[in-house]
Structure 1
Amino acid sequence: MSNAKDVTDQSFQKDVLESDKPVIVDFWAEWCGPCRMLSPILDEIAAEHGEKVEVVKVNVDENPAIAAQYGITSIPAVFVFQGGEHVATSIGAKPKKVLEQEFAEYL
């Protein structure tokens, strides 16, 4: 199980949009194999870059409103939010090095 904080439809505004650090949001579901492959990679990124960025998870099955608001149609979908704005996206399970390159500006 991941060490990332679980965020809900109700807590998304406070935990993500109002954060003073960039937030990496992992949109995932329990039944999604690639999501389970990505989870430990995001845990590593959180452990290594936690002073600069927050890593959280949103279960799309349990939180359909926020998933719909951001147009999540494929998972895993990893979004970066900064200053309340969606600023970067990565779709699908990717190696850690690729994610770190895609999100280098925020790490």
Structure 2
Amino acid sequence: MTHVTDVSDTDFDTEVLGAHADLPVLVKFTADWCPPCRQLTPVLEAIAEEERDRLKIVQINVDHNPQTTIRYGVMATPTLMLFRAGEPVKSMVGARPKRLILKDLEDVLPPARSSATG
């Protein structure tokens, strides 16, 4: 089961900018021919599963969705762009390990919900 959703030029505004304004959305700009993009896939799957209460992760293929790619000035793949309340707030270029992605996101993610009952 995948925790990273595919989006397109058609549904980007709905899926990233609108529907989940309560959660930040991490967008992976990717391409089929990009080896670092493929390396990043299992990393983002793991983060999406672990952080599903604090973060939504989607991916968009730059070759099939040029409008969104141009709109956000994406020049390289993979590019990770974090949106909060419909606005891009952080961008990272290149594949990176899970711990670095989480470190880069810690200042923009909402606090973790406590699982303890009081």
TM over 0.5: yes
Q: Which runs of 5+ in 1 are unaligned?
A: none
**Amino acid of the structure 1 residue aligned with 2:97:** P
What are the residue-to-residue correspondences of 1:12-91 with 2, within 5 Å? 12-18=12-18, 19-20=20-21, 21-91=23-93
Deviation track 1:40-66 (CA, whole Å, cap 9, x = no partner) reads 100010000001110000000110100
Per-residue deviation, 1:2: 5.3
Larger Cα-atom Rg: 2
For residue 100 of structure 1, the aligned residue among 81, 102, 111 is: 102
Q: Which runs of 4+ in 1 moved over 4 A?
A: none
Deviation track 1:9-44 (CA, whole Å, cap 9, x = no partner) reads 010111001122100000000000000001110001
Q: Which runs of 5+ in 2 are unaligned?
A: 111-118
The question of 1:10 aligning with 2:16 is answered: no
SS at match of 1:81: strand
Please provide the CA RMSD for this pair. Answer: 1.3
Per-residue deviation, 1:7: 0.5
Higher helix fraction: Structure 1 or Structure 2? 1
**Amino acid of the structure 1 residue aligned with 2:45:** D
Across the two proteins, how many residue pairs are aligned to each other? 107
